[in-house]
């Protein structure tokens, strides 16, 4: 049993993390913090925990959490972790950060896209990008894990095998992504009120969403060179789920089976990545509530493009589930521990 | 490990049962049947099971299932179980029936409300009404469990303590219930198409829904006499959840704490029944995906009535979850085994 | 052509009022105010008006509006109109108030339920309760119209004929009402965020909602005595619509046709009230976007009760549409002018 | 007043057509047909018309309709109109076809994408593609109007100015479109049941949707050469609305204002096309229930691409509204007659 701290439990990702950890056989939740709700009981913030989690949320105190916990999950906005995490903290505890601070290796790019100064440049080398299926081997033994973003997890995993094998032109990549509203967080905002979201769909932050450089960096590693992509997020009237529809030009003519072989090579042994059958495409309902990534593709001979579709639950594989998967890797548990729950449907 | 058969796996309740059983530590799913989908793989019917449940559904063969399984769940419409279950079947296996055939002790009332002949009158005495929190002691050792209906579970549990303690007039009971669309099943019907349900609410089967006599019978046992209630179901544009708003006249003036004491007396030790705090009322979002029943109430001194609100997930406590709870009781497992998952929110 | 002012155009009811008035052949919108958005263009608040309504919202100035407009709609919270409306204002303009200030004749009851002092007691006698189908004759010629609440319009119209004809016992009336989220207004509130409402249903303000005394007063007039009812509002995950499920005990045995005759007598000539056929019940989808009230009922001989179901669009017949209907009456236009649009489905 | 016939009134587009025509000052609906519902009253199929449209639907009889009506709207699946419409029919009446039969000038391409023989090749030269803003001048005086598809209307109008002015490379065009479920029609299908659509998003008919060649043909006219595009439709859990997110590479560096000028040149005088302000993008909620097309764009200097977003109501501008707009053109009414209703929000 390891002791866990959750900083930022009051957001949707924090709430989901609690749900998963409460069912994890190797974990005890020791401390929870929630900035604006400090002093409140967790089941007052989230009544789903009525009678089953009556812990009180404290104010964020990293030193104390680090002292008492083997691992601290930071489900907080960007800019917090880079200030709060120090080498001293990392000596005492493992940090798995849901924010963006340690995801990009290049702090200048971070500062450009996020518009704030990076306060933790000294730790960037110690951090690892926690995309489990890709970086599993270098995650082991690390103390600072940058848990990937929701859109990025879905987009990178969907496209990476094609980029790595050099069968698509990376400069033609376009990712058109659709997210449920929980991706926007629990903060009050007119745009996220029921009547403003329901019965509507919109694109937002076109060509300017902060997950763009994260996708570019990771796919760039696979390509062996810098790449630039188009990324457009959309808001969909549903609670959970991300669907990424990805377009790219093939550099040569390939059959369905050729491409299938590539995906099998990369993901054939991955429990959490499921390839759909030919002619079947992922839908978010089939992954909801689970840590799965579903991936399917179609080759369009008319245009010479491939269309790859990926689906995840943004709060699980896109946040809390992947964070726990990272924890499992770091602490040497079976990677699937506490994460094997099937998707829930209809839900 | 016990061996389990699922007859009627292709409906939403069957699908939910599979989800729960796959996480149950004491169970192996041995056989599945799906009448109109016999020969199909389960993950073709429900792609949430892609890669994780590739069993093939057979045609219903009760003899074979009974032979090979310790327990058979029948997630089938009314009228099937009363024909398919026989004393010989019950010698070989335990049957937990999701249908209505064995819920009402009086077969004449069954025939009147369901409009079909009851084919299994000889087994009615052997059957037990599987409302776990109420009938736990008489469920133990039974071979034929009538799993309660979704509306009925929520309505009976909400009102029973008040009826049992004689503090409300049973003849004044009105239950106004609201259900998500999954309660209507997966069969094709214009009324359940997306555009016909979405952005609308309706009452249906007013004063004629078949769950009415079930509620009346069970509350009648608590009252010690026959009672007649008004029951109105409504369809709500959401996937899951039932909310029952129950009205009744108090027979004497009672304070909040008086009534609270009654609920605590009946349910204080029940894991799956959660009482909301004063001034807080159940909402279906807080129980979604779980086996919990949330109950809250308000005393209205102006009218002399009490309003009790109950909330469940219709597919869990209202169907598959309670069925597993019944299985746990029958087989002597801890009643909560495989059912302790927290509600999932937002979902 | 009459000149119209809209005070409080930034709420959902105000927005709907603009939509209706823009299609009204006898009306010119002259001025709009929006307290917290003063100085903003209306199409910035509501982009549905892009290119078609570029008026700028001012701060509320009743004197100026009264001076320039033949009628002022006040789509503002309770407590505003009773301060802002004076005899001098009413000499210059007609006021149609969406708030509650002039709905209840008894200011003491107002103060008890609303928890604020009533600042306009002197005008209560001049005000008329603008439930058009009931008060049409006394609305004509009035200068101050209290536009009824959304729940109340639906509840009163559903039950009034039965109360007026003395066929139900008023003391047994229970109204279980369901509303779309737009009824909660456009103000920021966690409870009305998409992920908090979607996929859930809840009761709220049980036995304490402010529309209760309004229903009681109006039905009391029909009954010829004071009455007390139970009223429970619920929030439904949809944008628009109210469904009121009303229960009452019949004082004598009546057939469907007996009751039908009563409704025909009261509403047979009403364009905006539509009676459903026997066995058919109102659903909010069939009135969405329109000024119609659909009413259906079922006699339950088992319990001696009648269940009446009413459905309206809360923003049209429950707010802006009825306000325009009142304006039509006051100014001598055909009552249906600008309001004959059919419901929009699916929407 | 002209006399109108509606063939195929029972679908969602037919229902919407009735709604619009009932408010059109120059029109009388003379006949309605509904194949599988012949003999039923229209208000039984669509209860929104309770008391306001009690016409009975007949079986389809084109000769009779043509005889009695000045214009016949055919809201029927592809393959019907090319058989039912003949030169003799067109001598008697104007036909506005919602199906695809006369949209593509090249019947071979039609047969390839639709997989059926084209039975009306002789009429192709007489037909005009009824995209009003583009073909207004050649629609006048025509007797056979091919009403454009929903996805195509949105996609073509969004991209056409850029193609016509030669500022994008047509071979790089990718249209990622999102549609509400009403686009799938009212026919029974498991995939369109509430619980199967709600809380999910999916791509479908990737690189194979039949609207693809329609977009290609029309944009090809603007380009002056054949072009090939990628088109991916998605299903969104909402009733109405289409959002088309369109990507293309710019052939030269252009500023926002450069591109704005192009759109103003093409659409500056169009009532039904609304350009969003810089930094603002269309959302389907702002056009719902109206005949508007909202268009916005973003230039992405990093990738050299432009992203254009278009939004329509699929049942109005994408079907019934545009059909009425075509009728207005053909019969010499003001093009906006009966179509000036503002979008309805929230709805």
Alpha carbons D289 and C240: distance in angstroms, whole number:
14
Q: pLDDT, tens digit, for every residue of A159-217?
A: 999 999 999 999 999 999 999 999 999 999 999 999 999 999 999 999 999 999 999 99
Widest Cα–Cα separation across chain B:
61
> What's chain B's average pLDDT?
97
Minimal C-alpha gap between B325 and chain D (Å): 25
Alpha carbons C101 and C119: distance in angstroms, whole number:
9
The answer to whether the complex's ipTM is over 0.95 is yes
DSSP line for B276-305: PPTT---BGGGTTTSS-EEEEEEEETTTTE
Which ranges of C165-311 would DSSP assign to H, the alpha helix?
Answer: 194-197, 211-223, 256-267
In this structure, what DSSP letter does residue C320 have? I
Q: What are the two backbone dihedrals, phi and then psi, of residue C31, each rounded to the nearest 5 degrees? A: -145, 145
Mean pLDDT of A292-309: 98
Mean pLDDT of A210-239: 98
pLDDT of residue B36: 87
Pairs of residues, one from chain A and one from chain D, whose beta carbons lie less than 8 Å apart: 152
Q: For residue C185, which residues of chain D lie inside 8 Å, CB to CB?
A: none
CB atoms within 10 A of CB B1: 9
Q: Is D190 on the interface with A (CB under 8 A)?
A: no
Q: Is B207 on the interface with D (CB under 8 A)?
A: no
Minimal C-alpha gap between D113 and chain C (Å): 29
Minimal C-alpha gap between C20 and chain D (Å): 9
Q: Is A19 on the interface with B (CB under 8 A)?
A: yes
Minimal C-alpha gap between B181 and chain D (Å): 7
pLDDT of residue C315: 98
Q: Which of B150, B154, B197, B246 is catalytic?
A: B150
Per-residue H/E/C for chain D: CEEEEEECCCCHHHHHHHHHHHCCCCEEEEEEECHHHCCCEHHHHCHHHCCCCCCECECCCHHHHHHHCCEEEECCCCCCHHHHCCHHHHHHCEEEECCCCCCCCCHHHHHHHHCCCCCCHHHCCCEEECCHHHHHHHHCCCCEEECCCHHHHHHHHHHHHHHHCCCECHHHCEEEEEECHHHHCCCCCHHHEHHHHCCCCEECCCCCCCHHHHHHHHHHHHHCCCCCCEEEEEECCCCCCEEEEEEEEECCCCCHHHHHHHHHHHHCCCCCEEECCCCCCCEHHHCCCCCCEEEEEEEECCCCEEEEEEEECCCHHHHHHHHHHHHHHHCCCCCCCCCCCCCCCCC
Q: Is C195 on the interface with A (CB under 8 A)?
A: yes
Q: pLDDT, tens digit, for every residue of B67-99?
A: 999 999 999 989 999 999 999 999 999 999 999
Chains near D with 3+ CB pairs less than 8 A apart are A, B, C
Per-residue H/E/C for A12-45: HHHHHHHHHHHCCCCEEEEEEECHHHCCCEHHHH
Q: For residue A228, which residues of chain D lie inside 8 Å, CB to CB?
A: 302-303
Cβ–Cβ of B347/A346 closer than 8 Å?
no
Preferred mutation among B190, B195, B204, B284 to probe D, highest tally of D CBs within 10 A: B195
Minimal C-alpha gap between C218 and chain D (Å): 27
Q: For residue C237, which residues of chain A lie inside 8 Å, CB to CB?
A: 194, 198
Preferred mutation among D41, D43, D50 to probe C, highest tally of C CBs within 10 A: D50
Q: What are the two backbone dihedrals, phi and then psi, of residue B300, each rounded to the nearest 5 degrees? A: -110, 100
Encode chain C (347 residues) as per-residue pLDDT tens digits.
999 999 999 999 999 999 999 999 999 999 999 988 999 999 999 999 999 999 999 999 999 999 999 999 999 989 999 999 999 999 999 999 999 999 999 999 999 999 999 999 999 999 999 999 999 999 999 999 999 999 999 999 999 999 999 999 999 999 999 999 999 999 999 999 999 999 999 999 999 999 999 999 999 999 999 999 999 999 999 999 999 999 999 999 999 999 999 999 999 999 999 999 999 999 999 999 999 999 999 999 999 999 999 999 999 999 999 999 999 999 999 999 999 999 999 99
Q: Is D91 on the interface with C (CB under 8 A)?
A: no
Interfacial D residues in 229-248 facing A (CB < 8 Å)? 229-230, 232, 234, 236-241, 243, 245, 247
Q: Which residue of B has its CA nearest to C285?
A: B200
Pairs of residues, one from chain B and one from chain C, whose beta carbons lie less than 8 Å apart: 152
Percentage of residues of chain A with pLDDT beyond 70? 100
Preferred mutation among B200, B295, B312 to probe C, highest tally of C CBs within 10 A: B200
Q: For residue B196, which residues of chain D lie inside 8 Å, CB to CB?
A: 194
Of B83, B27, B44, which is closest to residue B60 (Cα–Cα)? B83
Cβ–Cβ of A186/C186 closer than 8 Å?
no
Active site residues of A: 150
Q: For residue A195, which residues of chain C lie inside 8 Å, CB to CB?
A: 12, 181-182, 186, 192, 239
Q: Which residues contact C262 (CB under 8 A, 6 or more apart)?
A: C161, C162, C165, C167
Mean pLDDT of A293-297: 98
Cβ–Cβ of A48/B286 closer than 8 Å?
yes
Helix, strand, or coil (residue A94): strand
Q: Which residue of C has its CA nearest to B170?
A: C303
Minimal C-alpha gap between A286 and chain B (Å): 4
Q: Tokens 């009781």 correspond to what residue?
A: B329
Alpha carbons D327 and D305: distance in angstroms, whole number:
38
Minimal C-alpha gap between A73 and chain B (Å): 19
Alpha carbons D171 and D219: distance in angstroms, whole number:
11
In this structure, what DSSP letter does residue C185 have? -
> What's chain D's average pLDDT?
97
Q: Is D174 on the interface with A (CB under 8 A)?
A: yes
- Reported confidence tier of residue A147, pLDDT bands at 50, 70, 90: very high
Q: For residue D188, which residues of chain B lie inside 8 Å, CB to CB?
A: 188-190, 193
At residue B293's C-alpha, the angle toward residues B287 and B296, to 5°, is: 100
Chains near B with 3+ CB pairs less than 8 A apart are A, C, D
Cβ–Cβ of C49/D19 closer than 8 Å?
no
> What's chain A's average pLDDT?
97
pLDDT of residue D35: 85
pLDDT of residue B35: 85
Interfacial A residues in 42-81 facing B (CB < 8 Å)? 46-53
Please count the CA atoms within 13 angstroms of the CA of A256 that sit on its side-chain side: 10
Looking at the DSSP bridge assignments, the partners of residue D5 are: D31, D72
Cβ–Cβ of D198/B237 closer than 8 Å?
yes
pLDDT of residue C35: 85
Active site residues of D: 150
Strand ranges across the sheet with C127-129? C27-33, C2-7, C71-74, C94-97, C144-146, C127-129
Q: Is D201 on the interface with B (CB under 8 A)?
A: no
A35 pLDDT more than 90: no
Cβ–Cβ of B202/C237 closer than 8 Å?
no
Q: pLDDT, tens digit, for every residue of B176-209?
A: 999 999 999 999 999 999 999 999 999 999 999 9
Preferred mutation among A190, A193, A206, A233 to probe D, highest tally of D CBs within 10 A: A206
Q: What are the two backbone dihedrals, phi and then psi, of residue A65, each rounded to the nearest 5 degrees? A: -60, -45
Q: How far is CA A201 from CA A181, A314, B154, in A?
A: 11, 17, 36
Comparing CB atoms, the residue among D23, D276, D286 nearest residue C48 is D286
- Reported confidence tier of residue A39, pLDDT bands at 50, 70, 90: very high
Cβ–Cβ of D238/A201 closer than 8 Å?
yes
8 A C-beta contact, residue B305 and residue C230: yes
Q: How far is CA C128 from CA A59, C24, C101, C145, D177, in A?
A: 54, 23, 11, 5, 51
Dihedral through CA B276, CA B277, CA B279, CA B280, nearest 10?
-40
Alpha carbons B69 and B46: distance in angstroms, whole number:
23
Q: Which of C57, C132, C150, C154 is catalytic?
A: C150
Q: For residue A299, which residues of chain D lie inside 8 Å, CB to CB?
A: 207
């Amino acid at each position: 049993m390891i002791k866990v701290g959750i900083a930022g439990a009051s957001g949707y990702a924090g709430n989901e993390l609690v749900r998963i950890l409460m069912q994890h056989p190797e974990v005890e939740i020791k401390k929870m913090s929630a900035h604006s709700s400090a002093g409140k009981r967790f089941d007052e913030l989230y009544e789903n925990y009525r009678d089953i989690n009556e812990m009180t949320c404290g104010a964020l105190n990293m030193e104390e959490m680090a002292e008492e916990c083997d691992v601290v999950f930071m489900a907080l906005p960007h800019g917090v972790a880079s200030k709060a995490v120090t080498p001293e903290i990392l000596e005492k505890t493992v940090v798995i950060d849901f924010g963006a601070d340690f995801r990009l290796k290049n702090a200048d790019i971070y500062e450009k896209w996020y518009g704030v100064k990076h306060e933790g440049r000294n730790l960037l080398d110690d951090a690892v990008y926690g995309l489990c299926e890709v970086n599993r081997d270098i995650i082991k033994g690390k103390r600072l894990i940058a848990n990937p973003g929701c859109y990025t997890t879905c987009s990178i995993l969907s496209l990476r095998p094609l980029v790595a094998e050099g069968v698509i032109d990376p400069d033609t990549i376009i990712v058109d992504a659709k997210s449920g509203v929980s991706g926007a967080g629990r903060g009050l905002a007119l745009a996220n009120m029921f009547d403003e979201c329901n019965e509507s769909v919109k694109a937002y932050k076109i060509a300017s969403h902060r997950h763009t450089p994260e996708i570019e960096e990771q796919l760039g590693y696979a390509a062996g060179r810098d790449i630039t992509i188009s990324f457009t997020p959309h808001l969909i009237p549903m609670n959970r789920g991300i669907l990424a529809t990805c377009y790219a030009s093939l550099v040569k003519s390939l059959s369905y089976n050729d491409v299938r072989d590539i995906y099998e090579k990369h993901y054939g042994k991955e429990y959490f990545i499921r390839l759909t059958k030919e002619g079947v495409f992922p839908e978010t309902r089939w992954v909801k509530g689970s840590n799965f990534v579903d991936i399917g593709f179609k080759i369009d001979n008319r245009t010479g493009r491939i269309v790859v579709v990926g689906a995840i639950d943004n709060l699980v594989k896109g946040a809390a589930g992947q964070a726990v998967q990272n924890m499992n890797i770091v602490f040497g548990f079976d990677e699937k521990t506490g994460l094997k729950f099937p998707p829930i449907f209809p839900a």
